[in-house]
């Protein structure tokens, strides 16, 4: 029983733990941006916390409390006077010029963007998984068919195939195709619809053999296994080229997030539905722990993407986010006077309540989806 317990921890809990450490570090990087700039400007930092209270552990050094809190999602830097009070004291956030306050708020966004680009540079130097296209073919090695998407209640989902699985072989009786192309795989599954096929799957360092029965009489837009497949490989650049590639890909992703968010909000507000897959804390941990199993390069790529997403989302002028606080300061600069602090705090509180509600709703969907 003890041996089985240890195997369970290694197989299921260890990937979750590794990803949570990585996610916590992304939050740490963001909050460290606020912290460093505020400290440099001589402001008093009341608390630097990782996680959401209640507090589990804390230590006080100088005038700052450093804490670890119970819920491992989020983090905060509590700066003296950030609620608008103590505006007559020089070490208060409220006493600073609009430019200094914007720099402090923007520092978290910038740190996440820089860190995400750094991870992309590192990933491109050691090799990261990408979908093959003509523009990057010469730098890609180990090209195989990978599962990019799995339809609900499909034969693939029923037998436990996962996004990221690489299909190295497909067979039925004496018929066998090693390293099939997209077209070969599609034709093979259509030809043997309703029969039990074997798939050799590479999942990280594991090699699995999975049996599945493709559907017969499929529609024009359906696949026999219910999967979207594509050629993927490992993209690896020389050191100098990886620097340029990381910067370019990171900035492209950063700006594309804003387009994706605009389309998401447009659909949600005007059509009352969510487009694409949106994950909350539970979904992010579930997906992140799967990337740990696939290998270090997958984890680096996922954390890089997540860090850049955090940077972009925090810059959106939605109440309670850094972007909203920057927006209020810009309004103050235009008007020549600040919005009443009670009004601003009320708007941020309302926005925070909406965010929590949205997170709870998405988390409920994640639990149903993943468990």
Residues forming a β-bridge with 228: 149
In which band, very low, low, confident or very high, does the pLDDT at 361 lie, cut at 50, 70 and 90?
Answer: low
10-24, 56-70, 200-214, 351-365: segment of lowest average pLDDT: 351-365
Is 70 exceeded by the pLDDT of residue 234?
A: yes
pLDDT of residue 116: 95
Is 60 exceeded by the pLDDT of residue 286?
A: no
pTM > 0.85: no
In angstroms, the first-to-last Cα distance of the chain is 24
Per-position DSSP letters for 191-248, written without gaps between them = HTTTS-EEEEEEETTEEEEEEE-PPSS--TT--SSSEEEEEEEEE---HHHHHHHHHH
277 or 170, which is more confident?
Answer: 170
User: How much helix, strand and coil, in percent to the nearest 5, is found in the chain?
Assistant: 55, 20, 25
> What's the pLDDT tens digit per position in 154-170?
888 889 888 888 898 99
**Do 80 and 206 meet the contact criterion of CB atoms below 8 Å apart?**
no
277 is catalytic: no
**Do 51 and 31 meet the contact criterion of CB atoms below 8 Å apart?**
no
Mean pLDDT to the nearest integer, 246-263: 88
**Do 351 and 320 meet the contact criterion of CB atoms below 8 Å apart?**
yes
Domains and CATH numbers, the chain: 2-127+285-370 (no CATH), 137-235 (2.30.42.10)
Out of 31, 82, 202, 344, the active site residue is: 31
């Amino acid at each position: 029983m003890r041996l089985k317990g240890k195997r369970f921890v290694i197989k299921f809990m260890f990937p979750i733990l590794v990803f949570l450490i990585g996610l916590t570090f992304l939050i740490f990087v963001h909050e460290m941006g606020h912290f460093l700039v505020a400290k440099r400007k001589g402001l008093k930092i009341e608390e630097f916390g990782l996680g959401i209270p209640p507090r589990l552990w804390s230590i006080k050094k100088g005038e700052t409390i450093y804490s670890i809190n119970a819920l491992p999602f989020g983090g905060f830097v509590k700066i003296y006077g950030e609620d608008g009070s103590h505006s007559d004291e020089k070490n208060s956030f409220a006493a600073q010029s609009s430019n200094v306050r914007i720099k402090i708020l923007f520092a978290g966004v910038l740190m996440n963007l820089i860190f995400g680009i750094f991870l992309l540079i590192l990933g491109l130097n050691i090799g990261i998984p990408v979908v093959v296209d003509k523009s990057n073919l010469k730098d890609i090695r180990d090209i195989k068919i990978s599962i990019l998407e799995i339809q609900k209640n499909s034969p693939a989902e029923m037998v436990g195939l996962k996004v990221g699985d690489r299909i190295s072989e497909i067979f039925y009786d004496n018929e066998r195709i090693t390293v099939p192309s997209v077209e070969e795989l599609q034709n093979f599954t259509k030809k043997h619809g309703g029969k039990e096929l074997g798939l050799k799957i590479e999942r990280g360092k594991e090699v699995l053999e999975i049996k599945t029965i493709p559907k017969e009489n499929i529609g024009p837009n359906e696949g026999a296994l219910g999967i979207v497949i594509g050629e993927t490989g490992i993209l690896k650049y020389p050191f100098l080229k990886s620097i340029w590639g990381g910067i370019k890909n990171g900035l492209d992703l950063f700006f594309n997030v804003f387009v994706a968010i605009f389309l998401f909000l447009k659909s949600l507000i005007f059509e009352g539905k969510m487009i694409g897959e949106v994950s909350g804390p539970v979904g992010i941990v579930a997906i992140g722990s799967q990337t740990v199993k696939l290998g270090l390069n997958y984890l680096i790529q996922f954390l890089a993407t997540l860090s850049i997403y955090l940077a972009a989302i925090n810059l959106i002028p939605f109440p309670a986010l850094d972007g909203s606080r920057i927006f209020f300061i810009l309004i103050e600069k235009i008007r020549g006077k600040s919005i009443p602090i009670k009004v601003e705090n009320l708007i941020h509180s309302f926005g925070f309540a909406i965010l929590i509600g949205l997170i709870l709703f998405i988390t409920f969907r994640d639990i149903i989806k993943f468990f």
